[in-house]
Structure 1
Amino acid sequence: MSTLAAPTRRSTRRWLALSILALAQFLVVLDASIVNIALPVLGAQLGMDTAALAWVITAYVLAFGGLLLLGGRLADRYGHRRIFLVGTAGFVATSALAGLSFTSEMLLAARALQGASAALLAPAALALLTHLFPDSGDRTKALGVWGGVAGIGSAAGVLLGGVLTATLGWQSVFFVNVPIGAIVLIAIPLLITPDVATERGKLDIPGSATITGALVAAVGALSAIEQVGFIHPLTLGLAAAAIILGAAFVIIERRTAAPLVPLEVFHHRNLTVGNIVMLLIGAAMVALFFALSVYMQAVLGYDALATGLTQLPLAGALVIVAGVVPAVIPRIGARTTLISSLVILAAGLVWLSFAPADAQFLVHILAPSIVIGIGMGGAFVTTTQLSVDGVEGGESGLAGGLVNTSQQIGGALGLAVLGTVAALRTDELLASGAPAPDATTGGFSWLFLGSAVVALVAALATGFARKN
């Protein structure tokens, strides 16, 4: 197995280095949401119908989610800093390519390459963080910054997408990545020393191929549910492929001498619990941001910019809590912090589900949004810490790939299942004669309640899981 010797001092200015790594993570999270607002304008200019526009999102998610584990392992094998820089350079180049696209085919290819680059960047960045902050106390604080940045990126995508599309055109949502990425590429070599490879075994090609295929098929099946339904041959075929390839991957990993994912890594119960919970948090979070954005615009009549502004209180609460949680964890424990955060998150989602079709932001939306931000901030930071605690340096890239994969798969799962639940409830209310705004609101109410159930299931999983 490949291992990397992490120098005792990877950086003399590690907090500055963390801010640059967080900036790169911000780009990855931002890119998952900023494109949504630009889709109608983009589609009109490139001649893409609704089904084709869905692939602008799906192409990115498929490549990102499918290649994350391989990206994490490549970082462990060839150096976390090196793979991080390769991924960032690729992300910058493919963002520029997407902005320059003049055909739908060119744009979709650029989006897939963007996702592949992000799959190299994200796990390597988290691995670098764990090396920069080997002390558990400092690492918890650093993960607080990390969680805050993720929250800002998710909420800021809607706001920035609206502003940039309205003022500079849809191309700007891609071009914005270029100067930020350039700053990262210049700063990181100056702030972080290279990894030193002490051993290199053979790369597990069969394992890489089967797990990548399984993840791509799984994400594809979940995306197909939204577009063609549960029982469509495409959905069923992709689901079957995911199961078969996943089973083949497990068999290969048990037999190979240098596995891509040593199954023993799941003996770390904190890592296992953290990834299960991250999958569930991803499901609740992606479904929430999607539904809240559509609800504010389609039902309440807000424009894209105003919709983004309404999500700032949620993001602000998330950032504040992400900064406070690192001081709370040593006092009451990570699991107690996580369970409390998940219960708070569920309470906020239940509260939001009561918002009517004629809701006023200050009366019906603001308070539950702040509660949701509090719960999400605590849950995200603590879950990320559990997912990387106790993992050896030579597998830190793998741990980063696992937790990012869990979040991406969870997001696709949540959007597919909870989005379908919302659509079915909306159709039911329309059939009963309810006005369209009331029917849509009723569907989103069920989605918010479903997200609350997901958060409570995550809390129960955390409570019942045994500690290391």
Structure 2
Amino acid sequence: MGVTRAPGASEPPVGPTGRGPAEAVDPRRWWALVFIALAQLMVVLDATIVNIALPSAQRALDISDGNRQWVITAYSLAFGGLLLLGGRVADLVGRKRTFVIGLVGFAAASALGGAATNSVMLFGARALQGVFAALLAPSALSLLTTTFTDPKERGKAFGIYGALAGSGSAIGFVVGGILTEYLNWRWCLYVNVPIAIVAVTGALALLHDHPGHAEARLDVPGVLLGCGGLVALVHGFSEAQPRGWNDPYVLAMFAAAVVLLTVFVWWQNRAPSPLLPLHIVKDRDRAGCFLTMMLAVIGLFGLFLFLTYYFQVVLGYSPLHTGLAFLPLTGAIIIGSTQISARLLQHVPPRALMVPGMIFSAAGMLLLTRMTVHSSYTSEILPALILMGLGMGLTFMPVFATATAGVAPRDAGVTSATVNTSQQVGGSIGTALLNTLATTSSTGYIAAHLTNPAQRGMVIREGVVHGYTVAIWWAAGVMLLAGLVAGLMVTAKAPKHGNPADAPLPEPVA
């Protein structure tokens, strides 16, 4: 039996299994999805589109080897560190308004980066992109959550969103390769401007939003503690790659992250308007989704890193050829999300998709552990990419849909931000941890096998590939751990079996 609430009463915390009551259906909601998805794609692919262009940008701006990582790190630091703030801003001032501000700011920062005349200008522009991406990503996901309330339609919408979230990085490699090879590296940033213009036009015309909660106050101590802790954590992992895990600076960053995030949790139990209401992460299903997402992305980002270098350095692919080599992975993620998960989620519990998805992904990883300096793409790499893609497609869609379902409307933005934060932290951990494992293993292999100076080149290449396969073994283990977490923690039923009374009531439209 449903509970009657007075107008304006705050929504209680709920589990992510319920469905909302019947609401007026917007006939243009699918067009709205196009522009939400376009904005999300822009944010996700920008994490990798610059990777392939990095060597060209480094030469053009005379960036040192030690500083070149900041082209990538400046974006991930600002994005991952400010996501919780971005999600809460979306809840306070309105999701549509935050979405449009994020799009405009992201486009401006992209234009600034494309026009960069020195390294500092490029690093600053990439950090600004991250700031506005932290506004854009949670508002996009929460708009999707509030636009599609019918369970069947919600499955289709989140299938598309999950496909973009999972394949956006691979698409970034393709687009980056094309733009770098046929135009120049600056277009890897300029390309965001026309995309943002189209998305802003569509958002203003089609998106609807409940007004923000102006009466609520921003939790300033929570912002400083939570965002500071996330920045320290992401920065620590990014610096572990070039400095080493035992470097005092890296250890100091991790220590600061632990202290700040511990105090942040303590404060959230006492804050009158918490930045992250703890009932969001205390819910078992939602916490399981957050953890599954983080573990899955650890393996996925490690794979992107290794295969990019494997294709270009070991197999001698061009940037464009490298990008195209990732296309089967992208296609498999899209099929897994939109044609399998979106169709089955109404009939099976989310973990019935997430667990097999992680097993498929782990199986694809295990196939890649067999690669050598002479591997055939068609017979050895391609089957692994297809398995990985299908597994990710099966996993990402139910993770997004389950983590954001049933949350009170005033918390939709910060819940969406927490999903994105899991993704960003997982990507940072995966890149640093797996790259360190690969480098250590490669060094040991080369030292043990380099007995004939005439074979130095071949031994180095074999050592590099050996390091990749060792790290990929670990990535496969992380994927299996993600499947175990999903199987044990995510106990939500199929959406069609959920109790409508468990869902929060919609906020009144002003």
TM over 0.5: yes
Deviation at 1:237, TM superposition (A): 1.1
The residue correspondences of 1:427-446 to structure 2 (distance < 5 A) are 427-433=443-449, 435-446=459-470
The residue correspondences of 1:324-403 to structure 2 (distance < 5 A) are 324=339, 325-403=341-419
Question: Matched residues in 1 for 2:253 and 2:467: separation?
Answer: 27
Please list the CA deviations of residues 403-444 of structure 1 after superposition, one character each: whole Å capped at 9, or x if unmatched: 000000001001111111111111111011151111111111
Q: Which of the two has higher C-alpha Rg?
A: 2
Which one has a larger percent helix, Structure 1 or Structure 2? Answer: 1
> Counterpart of 1:252?
267
Deviation at 1:389, TM superposition (A): 2.0
Q: Is the 8 A contact 1:3 1:76 kept in 2?
A: no
Deviation at 1:192, TM superposition (A): 1.2
- Helix, strand or coil: the match of 1:53? coil
Q: Is the 8 A contact 1:161 1:173 kept in 2?
A: yes
Deviation at 1:390, TM superposition (A): 2.2
- Helix, strand or coil: the match of 1:213? helix
Match of 2:429 among 398, 403, 413: 413
One-letter code aligned to 1:36:
N
Deviation at 1:199, TM superposition (A): 5.5
CA spacing shift, 1:397–1:10, aligned 2, 3 Å:
farther
Comparing 313-322 with 324-333, greater Cα deviation is found at 324-333
Question: Matched residues in 2 for 1:8 and 1:412: separation?
Answer: 40
CA spacing shift, 1:226–1:23, aligned 2, 3 Å:
same
CA spacing shift, 1:3–1:442, aligned 2, 3 Å:
farther
Q: Is the 8 A contact 1:268 1:390 kept in 2?
A: no
> Counterpart of 1:182?
197
The residue correspondences of 1:7-406 to structure 2 (distance < 5 A) are 8-9=23-24, 11-197=26-212, 200-324=215-339, 325-406=341-422
Give me the TM-score of the superposition, normalised by structure 2: 0.89
Deviation at 1:88, TM superposition (A): 0.7
Comparing 399-408 with 437-446, greater Cα deviation is found at 437-446
Deviation at 1:466, TM superposition (A): 6.0
Question: Matched residues in 2 for 1:272 and 1:35: separation?
Answer: 32
> Counterpart of 2:482?
458
Deviation at 1:467, TM superposition (A): 2.6
Q: Is the 8 A contact 2:368 2:384 kept in 1?
A: yes
- Helix, strand or coil: the match of 2:275? coil
Deviation at 1:369, TM superposition (A): 1.0
- Helix, strand or coil: the match of 1:211? helix
User: How much identity, in percent, do the aligned residues show?
Assistant: 39
Comparing 150-159 with 446-455, greater Cα deviation is found at 150-159
Comparing 353-362 with 91-100, greater Cα deviation is found at 353-362
Please list the CA deviations of residues 117-148 of structure 1 after superposition, one character each: whole Å capped at 9, or x if unmatched: 00000000000000110122211111100011
- Helix, strand or coil: the match of 2:212? strand
Question: Matched residues in 1 for 2:127 and 2:490: separation?
Answer: 39
- Helix, strand or coil: the match of 1:128? helix
CA spacing shift, 1:310–1:249, aligned 2, 3 Å:
same
Q: Is the 8 A contact 1:10 1:192 kept in 2?
A: no
Q: Is the 8 A contact 1:3 1:197 kept in 2?
A: no
Deviation at 1:3, TM superposition (A): 7.1
Question: Matched residues in 2 for 1:12 and 1:151: separation?
Answer: 28
Question: Matched residues in 2 for 1:364 and 1:116: separation?
Answer: 40
Question: Matched residues in 1 for 2:49 and 2:176: separation?
Answer: 5
Match of 2:440 among 415, 421, 424: 424
Comparing 234-243 with 264-273, greater Cα deviation is found at 264-273
Give me the TM-score of the superposition, normalised by structure 1: 0.97
- Helix, strand or coil: the match of 1:298? helix
Question: Matched residues in 2 for 1:138 and 1:58: separation?
Answer: 37
One-letter code aligned to 2:41:
F
Question: Matched residues in 1 for 2:320 and 2:282: separation?
Answer: 46
> Counterpart of 2:508?
none
Q: Is the 8 A contact 2:143 2:209 kept in 1?
A: no
Question: Matched residues in 2 for 1:315 and 1:348: separation?
Answer: 14
One-letter code aligned to 1:163:
I
Question: Matched residues in 2 for 1:339 and 1:371: separation?
Answer: 14
- Helix, strand or coil: the match of 1:197? coil
Question: Matched residues in 1 for 2:25 and 2:437: separation?
Answer: 48
Please list the CA deviations of residues 250-283 of structure 1 after superposition, one character each: whole Å capped at 9, or x if unmatched: 1211111111111122232211100000110111
In structure 2, list runs of 5 or more residues that go unmatched.
1-7, 12-19, 451-458, 493-510
Please list the CA deviations of residues 291-348 of structure 1 after superposition, one character each: whole Å capped at 9, or x if unmatched: 1111111111111111111111111111111112111122232111110111011011
RCO higher in 1 or 2 (8 Å CA, sep ≥ 6)? Answer: 2
> Counterpart of 2:500?
none
Comparing 153-162 with 62-71, greater Cα deviation is found at 153-162
Question: Matched residues in 2 for 1:378 and 1:9: separation?
Answer: 30
Question: Matched residues in 2 for 1:9 and 1:127: separation?
Answer: 18
Question: Matched residues in 2 for 1:119 and 1:285: separation?
Answer: 21
Q: Is the 8 A contact 1:341 1:374 kept in 2?
A: yes
One-letter code aligned to 2:112:
L
Q: Is the 8 A contact 1:81 1:128 kept in 2?
A: yes
